[in-house]
Structures are given as structure tokens and as C-alpha cells.
Amino acid sequence: MQKRDTIFINGGFLVQPLTGVQRYALELTQRLLEAANADPELRPVTVVRPPDGTRGIIRGNLWEQGTLCLRARGGILFSPSSMGPWLHPRQVVTLHDMRAFSPEQADSLPFRTRQWHRIALSLLGRTARRILTDSHHSLTCICEYLNVSPARVQVVYPGADHILAFGHDDSVLEKLGLRPGGYVLAVGSLYPHKNVRILHSLDWEKYDLKLCIVGEAPDTRAPAFQRILEEARSQPASVCYTGRRSDAELRSLYSAAFAFAFPSLYEGFGFPPLEAMYCGAPVLASDRTSIPEVCGDAPLYFDPLSPASLRVVVERILGDPGLRASMIERGRQRAAQFTWARAAAEVMSVLQQV
């Protein structure tokens, strides 16, 4: 295999905080490297990592457009985190969602970030050889907003079985004052589109439950975010905001939850519901964007803008232990369809053909 056929992976995610996009890049990169090392017939894979401290829109873009593009010249470049150099002639990029273009989610990203994403994604849409994305919902949005032919876009569902690679840390329950089966869990940042505020609308003490929300607040002073923070601080003792937790703690929180709630207004994919299903938590999920496509018939769905709709599904699962048990089983079956081994094989197939 000639050197020009090397697959270079854009390692910008390695110096970024771990969120869903970085989880995707990390898990996929690991398996692509393993596959290439195990099969000499495949193109070799190497990761190009930026220097430590290469964070932020300006620094990250300068590194991608300059150093990365030069390092990957003559080969195939895979950018798994929605950003990459605009001029590389043989690039495959994963675009995870089109939230920056969504009129309904205008306040879900700070103004400058939103404008930058619109410019950068539009340029990538024109120049990338192939585009991967996480759902058919995102494929439709990419074609609409970027004016891209569907023939250039391919859906590759990510895995979610990474959650099973971590042990349990059950001490987190005592730390947070939670009892097994005595709380509803939600996982997500405090971005407006995550819609955690609707979970405040229920009186959880009435159901002898607590609400546990895992996730960090964005580092911004934008009014939309500050309103969510102020509301979070004013919640009663039955509502617990934990900030970021370790993977082992998160697995224990999923496993011991009475139910998992996912009220998001916009998702390109959404790892948390599938992670919850893998861990045996029944899921109450928003009926918007890609969520029904990904979660199938496993959850109970509700209108994420209707507290009454949320209340109905909570009371339904509380009143029917048999339903809860069947949701757990359906969830395990659904989650098992989403593995990183399958995702990596599909991505590698694309990279071999570019």
C-alpha cells in the first residue's frame, strides 16, 4: 500500500472536553486503528494530534486549515468531529447535526458560535469528498441547509456499548443522597435545546422520587443560559444538579434509576437514551427530531413542550410495573443494535473507497 493511501484522522477532538461528539471520535478512532493494525490489506491509519492548548474556534481552525492539511496531504483525511480543513481534496467528514441552521434553536448556541458553524459547515459541505452523519434526520437537514446531494451523504449510526466498558461506582448514590429506584435521571448539558427546564414542572416529591440531572453548564454569559442556571439554583431539594460525573459513576446512576428522562428539543443522534437502555433503565423520551428514529419502540414518548404530556408518561410508568419491565427489555434489545464494531466497519468501508 503506497504512503499516499494512508488514512489520517483529524485528532482535534483529543484536546477538547469530552461530550457526545468527542465520544464518537474517540471510540471510532480506537476501533479504526485496531482494524488497520489487524488487517494489512486495509489502508494504514494514523492520528494527527494538535499540540496541547489548541482549543477554541480560532486556534483549532488555524491548526486544521494549516498544519493538519499539510500533514494529511497526499492521503485520505477523516474528520470525525464536524470540523476540518476546507481545502483537503480527499476528506471524509462526519457532520453530527445542523443545529446552527435550525430556526427553532436560534438561542441554543451563542451568536458568534452559531455564525461560525454556519460558515464552516457550508464550506465543508462544498469541499468534502464524502459526508457521514448519525441519523436520517440529520441527512435530510444536511441536504436541505447545505444544498448537498444525498448521494454524497451516508448515515452511519454510532455505537453506544462503550458504557459497558466501565465498571460501576455505586458510591455515587450515597454521595448524592439517592436510593436505588428512587430517582429519575437526566443526562445532558444546560444548553437550551436540552430542555431540562421542563423537568422542573413536575412535583417529584409527590411521586416519592428525586430528579437527578447530570451535566455541566456551558461557559457563557448569554442570557438564555443564565436563565437556566438561575432556575436550576432555585429548585427544591428533590431536584439534584450534579455537574459532570465519571463514566463509572454514570453507569451506576443509569443502572439504579427508576427511569431515564430525555426531554431534548433537538438531537442529531443522542447517546444518553441508548446508554440508559444498555444499563437497564426504562426511557421516557422526547418525540422530536432524530430521537424516535434512534430509540425505536423502546421508550414512552412525550411532547417536550408540554408538562402535561410529561406528567402522563411519568404516571403511566409509575402505575404499571409490568410496563416498566417490558420497557427495560425492549430497551436492551434496541440498544444492542448500536455497537462501535459495526459503526467502525461501515466507516472503514467508506474510507477504503475514497
Over residues 155-175, the pLDDT tens digits come to 999 999 999 999 999 999 999
Contact status, residue 9 vs residue 34, Cβ threshold 8 Å: no
Give pLDDT, residue 169. 97
Residues 323 and 186 in one domain: yes
How confident is the model at residue 313, as a pLDDT? 98
- Looking at the structure, tell me whether residues 265 and 348 fall in a common domain: no
Q: Please tell me the predicted confidence (pLDDT) of residue 3.
A: 44
Statement to judge: residues 322 and 345 lie in one domain = no
Q: Can you give the pLDDT at residue 58?
A: 72
- Domain count across the chain: 2
Residue 63 DSSP one-character state: H
The per-residue pLDDT for 331 is 98
197 and 305 assigned to the same domain: yes
Task: Judge contact between 268 and 137, C-beta under 8 A.
Answer: yes
Do 203 and 79 lie in a common domain? no
Residue bearing cell 417529584:
204
Q: How far, rounded to the nearest angstrom, does the alpha carbon of residue 303 sit from its chain's CA centroid?
A: 21
Below-70 pLDDT ranges, the chain: 1-4, 106-107, 217-226
Residues 153 and 21 in one domain: yes
The CATH number given to whatever domain includes residue 347 is: 3.40.50.2000
The 3-state DSSP class for residue 15 equals: helix
- Give the structural domain span for 292: 162-335
Which tens digits make up the pLDDT trace of 36-67? 999 999 999 999 999 887 777 778 889 999 99
Q: Do 278 and 225 fall into the same domain?
A: yes
Q: Which amino acid is at 47?
A: V
pLDDT at site 64 = 93
How does 91-124 read in b/e, with b if 16+ C-beta sit within 10 Å? bbbbbbbbbbbbeebebbbeeeebebbbebbbeb
What pLDDT is stored for residue 106 in this prediction?
67
Instruction: Find the helix or strand (DSSP H, E) in which 145 lies.
Output: helix 136-146
Place of cell 448500536: 338
Q: DSSP 3-state assignment of 104? A: helix
What pLDDT, on the 0 to 100 scale, is given for residue 222?
58
Residues 206 and 227 reside in one and the same domain: yes
> Does 185 share its domain with 298?
yes
153, 191: one domain: no
